[in-house]
Amino acid sequence: QKLDEHLVNVARAANDMVKLLPHFESEPLSATELSALAAKPNTPQQFRWQDKAVRKVLQWRDTTEDKSNGYFVVNMASTGCGKTMANAKIMQALSEDKQSLRFILALG
């Protein structure tokens, strides 16, 4: 595929996605199977930091008066440490009801 063909296809795909954005605002998708994010007693040592981070976030939320702001979170850890699951657990802890899950994840 030539570069100009690729760029035209990318532009079309981006245009299709942009048209879906209002739908996400008015009817957001629901996450299911959130029980997978719950702390487990047999969590391997290398992943226990995730639940510790969640506890710290929950403690912070309990002491913070204004809970209506958004969050910009940067999670840096070595490969294989469980950043992906940690991101979901932390964002769930930051949600208004501490149970729901809705966030944007940027990788790179």
Q: What are the structural domain ranges in the chain?
A: 1-30, 31-108
Distance, in Å, from the CA atom of 67 to the CA atom of 55, rounded to the nearest integer, reads: 16
What is the spatial distance between Cα 77 and Cα 72, in angstroms, rounded to a whole number? 17
pLDDT band, very low/low/confident/very high, at 108 (cuts 50, 70, 90)? low
Residues whose CB is less than 8 angstroms from the CB of residue 90 and which lie 6 or more positions away in sequence, other chains included: 50, 53, 54, 57, 73, 75
Residues whose CB falls within 8 Å of the CB of residue 17, separated by 6 or more in sequence, listed in order: none
- Does this model's pTM top 0.75? My answer is no
Q: Provide the mean pLDDT of the chain.
A: 85
The total number of residues shown for the chain amounts to 108
The pLDDT tens digits for 56-98 are 999 998 888 776 777 788 888 888 889 989 999 998 998 888 8
